[in-house]
């Protein structure tokens, strides 16, 4: 194997695994280093809503375009991953319901509807009766809702596992429990230094260590954007029979994501608490109350699990993907609350960039500034 195509990826979340798999398929000698186990960061703990349209806020049109471009690639992505592994990723294209539970929410939702209309996004306005026909478990207080038929969903933990498998099957080298301490840069990029004191040469390196990326030593100032962890708490209950909901339901203070395996995920908080991984009573209470407001039957559901995760978030709330000013050093960081949605565009786009030296135009607004 030529040493000029020997690449290291630091971090085993979707931002690292996706490009790693694609580069291995393109014939690169790829080594992915994960300090713990793949998916142990945000990627294995996400809800898996693939919702560029529902997630859009009024000032994020560039991110919307990136999300839409990624969603467009999802069917092919899932097909390739399923072909490579045979995994069931619980990928669905059933759309989502955004519901209002009082008059103020209804007014906000109406503004969102007008905004979606202006951007030509697929959205349908539903009165209470229509919403209840789609989801009989909705609270009687839901009088107004939007249906976004373009939203998809997937099981992120299953996707991470499949990505690991596909990566290895494509000839990639997966090094778990191998924490990277340092990026070695002399006159040029030299390789990686590990916490056990060893070092290895690489011609190319991708930093994809989520909100921990800034803890890596050796990267000169100005190369990495500031990335902070935004904590999200998640609660999992039994979906029940008949299921409490069949679609993703987004209420003002919580969302509900049903899974084919009988789980219902309820999320999520947005908290600035550093890296404290302990779920809090208040956080779980907030999302439970938010969910119950929209779907009262939650009250009797059995709790199966709960956890926290850290969304890697930049100041601009945008991912940073592409080559840095140091030859051979690339970033795949800052995917915030959309990293699962952005997995295919990040994987295909970054692999193409590294392989051809050309950043696809859709990624240009997200290129590193340093």
Ligand X SMILES: Cc1cc2nc3c(=O)[nH]c(=O)nc-3n(C[C@H](O)[C@H](O)[C@H](O)COP(=O)(O)OP(=O)(O)OC[C@H]3O[C@@H](n4cnc5c(N)ncnc54)[C@H](O)[C@@H]3O)c2cc1C
Instruction: Using the structure block, give the residue that is written with the tokens 């890697």.
Output: 312
How many residues sit in the footprint of ligand X (CB under 6 A)?
Answer: 41
311 near ligand X, rule: CB under 6 A? yes
**Judged by CB, which is closer to ligand X: 135, or 155?**
155
Selected binder of ligand X within 27, 36, 127, 222 (CB under 6 A): 36
| Residue 57 C-beta: closest distance to ligand X, Å | 15
The reply to whether 248 sits near ligand X by the rule CB under 6 A is no
Q: DSSP for 218-231? A: SPPTTSSPPEEEEE
Q: Is 40 in the site for ligand X (CB under 6 A)?
A: yes
Task: Quickly list H helices, 56-102.
Answer: 61-85
150: which DSSP letter?
A: T
Question: If binding is defined by CB under 6 A, does position 14 make contact with ligand X?
Answer: yes
Q: Does 292 bind ligand X (CB under 6 A)?
A: no
Does residue 9 belong to the site contacting ligand X (CB under 6 A)? no
Cα–Cα distance, 148 to 360 (Å, whole number): 28
User: Minimum distance between the CB of residue 107 and ligand X, rounded to whole angstroms?
Assistant: 26
Q: Applying CB under 6 A, which part among 34-42, 117-125, 138-146, 182-190 lies near ligand X?
A: 34-42
User: Which one, 25 or 311, has the nearer CB to ligand X?
Assistant: 311
Q: Which residue stretch of 7-15, 126-134, 198-206, 323-331 sits at the interface with ligand X (rule: CB under 6 A)? A: 7-15
Contact between 350 and ligand X by CB under 6 A: the answer reads no
Helices (H), the chain: 14-25, 52-55, 61-85, 103-118, 128-134, 156-169, 281-294, 343-356
309 vs 323, which CB is nearer to ligand X? 309
Would you say 7 and 203 are in contact if contact means Cβ atoms under 8 Å apart? yes
Distance CA 287, CA 293 (A): 10
Parallel, antiparallel, or unpaired for β 49-50 and 152-153? antiparallel
CA quadruple 143, 119, 150, 231: dihedral, nearest 10 = -80
Piece of the chain touching ligand X by CB under 6 A; list 9-17, 56-64, 161-169, 352-360: 9-17
Cβ-based nearer residue to ligand X, 19 or 323: 19
Q: CA 6, CA 195: separation in Å to the nearest integer?
A: 21
Q: Is 204 in the site for ligand X (CB under 6 A)?
A: no
Cα-only R_g, the chain = 21
Q: What angle do CA 350, 356, 359 make, to 5 degrees?
A: 50
Q: Does 46 bind ligand X (CB under 6 A)?
A: yes
| C-alpha closest to that of 321 among 63, 21, 3, 77 | 63
49 sits near ligand X (criterion: CB under 6 A): yes
- Min separation Cβ 50 and ligand X, Å: 6
- List of residues contacting ligand X (CB under 6 A): 10-16, 33-36, 40-43, 45-49, 179-180, 208-210, 212, 216, 232, 234, 267-268, 309, 311-312, 335-341
């Amino acid at each position: 194997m030529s040493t000029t195509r020997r690449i290291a990826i630091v971090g085993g979340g979707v931002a690292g695994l996706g490009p790693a798999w694609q580069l291995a398929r393109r014939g690169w000698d790829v080594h992915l280093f994960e300090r713990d186990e793949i998916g142990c960061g945000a990627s294995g703990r996400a809800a898996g809503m693939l919702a560029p349209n529902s997630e859009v806020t009024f000032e994020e049109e560039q991110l919307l375009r990136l999300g839409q471009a990624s969603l467009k690639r999802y069917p092919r992505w899932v097909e390739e991953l399923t072909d490579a592994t045979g995994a069931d990723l619980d990928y669905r294209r059933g759309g989502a319901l955004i519901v209002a539970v009082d008059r103020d929410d209804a007014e906000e939702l109406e503004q969102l509807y007008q905004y979606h209309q202006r951007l030509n996004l697929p959205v349908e306005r539903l009165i209470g009766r229509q919403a209840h026909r789609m989801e009989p478990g909705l609270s009687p207080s839901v009088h107004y809702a939007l249906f976004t038929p373009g939203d998809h969903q997937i099981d992120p933990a299953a996707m991470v596992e499949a990505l690991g498998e596909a990566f290895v099957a494509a000839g990639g080298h997966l090094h778990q429990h191998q924490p990277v301490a340092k990026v070695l840069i002399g006159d040029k990029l030299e390789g990686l230094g590990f916490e056990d004191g060893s070092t290895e040469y690489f011609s190319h390196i991708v930093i994809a260590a989520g909100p921990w990326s800034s803890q890596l030593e050796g990267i000169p100032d100005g190369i990495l954007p500031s990335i902070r962890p935004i904590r999200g708490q998640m609660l999992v209950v039994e979906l029940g029979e008949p299921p409490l909901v069949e679609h993703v339901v987004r209420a003002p203070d919580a969302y509900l994501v049903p899974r084919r395996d009988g789980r219902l995920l309820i999320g999520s908080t947005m908290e600035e608490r550093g890296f404290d991984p302990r779920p809090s009573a208040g956080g779980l209470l907030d999302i439970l109350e938010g969910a119950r407001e929209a779907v009262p039957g939650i009250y009797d559901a059995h709790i199966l699990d709960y956890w926290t995760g850290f969304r890697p978030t930049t100041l601009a709330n945008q991912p940073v993907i592409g080559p840095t000013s140091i030859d051979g050093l690339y970033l795949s960081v800052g995917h915030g609350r959309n990293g699962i949605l952005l997995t295919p565009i990040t994987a295909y786009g970054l692999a193409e960039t590294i392989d051809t030296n050309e950043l696809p135009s859709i990624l240009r607004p997200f290129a590193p500034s340093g």
